């Protein structure tokens, strides 16, 4: 059965109110906040966020932000580790931008008020995570780096007077007669704000909407991560790339076979400080599977855990950090310690049960080195974007750095030439049908069963067929709009995963277990064309 045609825009009533801006930024993680702050010099900025300002993925980031800040480290070393983790399909030019501009970008973050943990020397304390051969991870509050970065950026935003609209679900991109971005439609809920469906007209739109982890049953992502930015870009005709590369974090706290929604993360930094993985008998199964053992890139560790579970029949594996002692746990990992204890596990005396769960989308809306998408006037940065930095597998703690560096580059690109006048756009009601919100659970079940860590042709064909069969004729509303976004993004992930008949990075095809550079060293680019998803392969030079 062919996939059901997907509408070009979400069914929605005509906007009941409008606002104007020079730049509208969608999202309030590190990418959105930095983009808004840096674009302030170029005109009126309006920041739109789906829930509260601090409800995105940034605040949950435990490990830290990677940059070559140590005298014994270098951008070249950071580049080499990133390329290795990306398994041959990173855009080296994008990685070079990341690692060379990263250290100064982190220092500017400090200038904005971010307080990182310091060593006895007074310099930023650096630790190590999986895939890194150097200690280059800056952290704050032990394991609360994202929360501190979010705090500092929100405080800086407050000083600027940038207008913020909270509790706003972005719906679709507005375009002018020439096909250029002209703003967005959105639905707003909350007191003291314009309510219902409205439109923000702007000649520059920056997507910083975060990830898509809620397409799976279990994820480390917050509830707001429903792939809204990728879905909007597809409906707007923009290219997305590398969606098959969904990274599963190896060490998510296992809460039992029925666990659903956002799961507690046990940061890679725990392994970076010397914790190790064991099976139920206490054997360190990662030793001998990779030169870095537990500190191998995330795809290697996730596959190691899944393979060991297959070999032993056990429902999870375990992280052993009992040798840290209470003082180190309380000082270095207070957030993780509290989360474990909330679920009846004391890492000071107990093994921590862990399992891989959906964590990060290495692919997304395709951009150039300045964050431009294939739709003029539309930019993207952070997890929603595919800059080419991550390739087939994101290197630990490169995500915060990518959001920071490329948000700054977007602001520089927007400011490089005068912005057009606020364009005219069609604000009519959008006809169409929406899926039943009850289909959300079915989408998550299908994706978890057939498009998780382990994939094969039969399972992916089943996923495509079952997704295509999901229908409905729901009334417009947040639940139906989110379900429509999840359905479109899930369908695009499955299409790419079916097409790539090899194993590379976070894409593991059990029926094609080998990496195939001769046929598959390149990118799968997806578009929504005539209401149907099309995917083509672009070979790397």
Catalytic residues: 298
Helix (H) / strand (E) element for 93: namely: helix 92-111
Query: Which of 128, 102, 116 is CA-nearest to residue 34?
Result: 102
Instruction: Please tell me the distance from the alpha carbon of residue 103 to that of residue 97, in angstroms, as a whole number.
Output: 11
DSSP string, 296-312: S-HHHHHHHHHHHHHHH
Helix (H) / strand (E) element for 340: namely: helix 334-342
Structural contact between residues 166 and 420, judged by C-beta atoms closer than 8 angstroms: no
Instruction: Please tell me the distance from the alpha carbon of residue 525 to that of residue 202, in angstroms, as a whole number.
Output: 27
Can you tell me which residue has the tokens 């756009």?
Answer: 425
Instruction: Please tell me the distance from the alpha carbon of residue 400 to that of residue 51, in angstroms, as a whole number.
Output: 20
Instruction: Please tell me the distance from the alpha carbon of residue 250 to that of residue 266, in angstroms, as a whole number.
Output: 9
Can you tell me which residue has the tokens 């290795």?
Answer: 84
Other CB atoms closer than 10 Å to residue 359's CB: what's the count? 26
Other CB atoms closer than 10 Å to residue 476's CB: what's the count? 19
Structural contact between residues 409 and 369, judged by C-beta atoms closer than 8 angstroms: yes
| Pairing of β 23-26 and β 45-48 | parallel
Structural contact between residues 384 and 208, judged by C-beta atoms closer than 8 angstroms: yes
Instruction: Please tell me the distance from the alpha carbon of residue 526 to that of residue 172, in angstroms, as a whole number.
Output: 18
CA angle 267–357–308, rounded 5-degree value: 90
207 HSE (CA, 13 A, CB side):
36
Q: CA dist 84 to 92, 126, 272, 429, 497, Å? A: 11, 21, 18, 48, 21
Query: Which of 155, 150, 123 is CA-nearest to residue 57?
Result: 150
Instruction: Please tell me the distance from the alpha carbon of residue 224 to that of residue 458, in angstroms, as a whole number.
Output: 31
Alpha helices, DSSP H, located in 392-527? 398-415, 439-450, 457-469, 478-499, 517-520
Query: Which of 460, 466, 521, 446 is CA-nearest to residue 496?
Result: 460
| Pairing of β 261-262 and β 218-219 | parallel
Q: CA dist 514 to 208, 285, 415, 518, 520, Å? A: 34, 21, 45, 12, 11
Structural contact between residues 272 and 397, judged by C-beta atoms closer than 8 angstroms: no
């Amino acid at each position: 059965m062919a996939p059901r045609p997907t509408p070009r825009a979400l069914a929605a009533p005509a906007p009941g109110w409008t606002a104007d801006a020079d730049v509208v930024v969608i999202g309030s993680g590190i990418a959105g906040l930095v983009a808004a702050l840096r674009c302030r010099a170029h005109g009126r900025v309006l920041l739109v966020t789906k829930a509260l300002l601090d409800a995105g993925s940034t605040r949950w980031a435990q490990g830290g932000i990677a940059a070559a800040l140590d005298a014994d480290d270098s951008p070249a070393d950071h580049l080499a580790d990133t390329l290795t983790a990306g398994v041959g399909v990173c855009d080296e030019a994008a990685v070079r931008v990341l690692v060379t501009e990263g250290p100064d970008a982190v220092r500017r973050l400090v200038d904005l008020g971010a307080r990182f943990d310091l060593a006895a020397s007074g310099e930023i304390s650096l630790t190590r995570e999986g895939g890194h051969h150097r200690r280059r991870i800056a952290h704050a509050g032990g394991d609360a780096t994202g929360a501190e970065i979010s705090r500092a950026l929100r405080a800086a935003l407050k000083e600027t007077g940038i207008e913020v609209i909270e509790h706003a679900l972005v719906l679709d991109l507005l375009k002018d007669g020439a096909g250029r971005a002209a703003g967005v439609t959105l639905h707003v809920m909350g007191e003291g704000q314009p309510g219902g469906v409205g439109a923000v007209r702007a000649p520059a739109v920056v997507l910083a909407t975060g990830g898509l982890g809620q397409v799976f049953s279990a994820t480390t992502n917050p509830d707001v991560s429903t792939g809204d930015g990728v879905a909007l870009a597809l409906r707007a005709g923009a290219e997305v790339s590398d969606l098959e590369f969904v990274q599963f974090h190896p060490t998510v706290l296992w809460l039992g076979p029925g666990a659903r929604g956002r799961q507690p993360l046990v940061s890679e930094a725990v392994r970076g400080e010397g914790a190790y993985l064991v099976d139920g008998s206490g054997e360190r199964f990662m030793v001998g599977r990779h030169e870095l053992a537990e500190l191998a890139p995330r795809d290697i560790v996730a596959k190691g855990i899944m393979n060991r579970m297959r070999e032993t029949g056990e429902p999870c594996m375990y992280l052993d950090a009992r040798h840290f002692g209470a003082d180190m746990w309380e000082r270095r990992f207070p957030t993780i310690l509290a989360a474990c204890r909330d679920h009846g596990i004391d890492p000071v005396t107990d093994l921590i049960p862990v399992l891989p769960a959906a964590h990060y989308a290495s692919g997304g809306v395709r951009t150039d080195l300045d964050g431009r998408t294939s739709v003029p006037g539309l930019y993207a940065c952070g997890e929603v974007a595919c800059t080419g930095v991550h390739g087939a597998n994101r290197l630990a703690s490169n995500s915060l750095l990518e959001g920071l560096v490329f948000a700054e580059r977007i602001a520089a690109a927007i400011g490089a030439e005068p912005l057009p006048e606020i364009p005219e756009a069609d604000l009519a009601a959008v006809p169409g049908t929406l899926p039943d919100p009850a289909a959300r659970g079915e989408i998550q079940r299908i994706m978890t069963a057939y498009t998780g860590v382990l994939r094969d042709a039969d399972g992916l064909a089943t996923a495509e067929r079952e997704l295509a069969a999901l229908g409905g004729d729901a009334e417009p509303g947040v639940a139906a709009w989110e379900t429509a976004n999840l359905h479109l993004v899930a369908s695009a992930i499955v299409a790419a995963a079916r097409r790539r008949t090899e194993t590379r990075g976070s894409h593991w095809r059990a029926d094609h277990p080998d990496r195939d550079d001769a046929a598959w060293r390149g990118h799968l680019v997806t578009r929504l064309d005539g209401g149907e998803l099309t995917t083509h392969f672009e070979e790397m030079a």
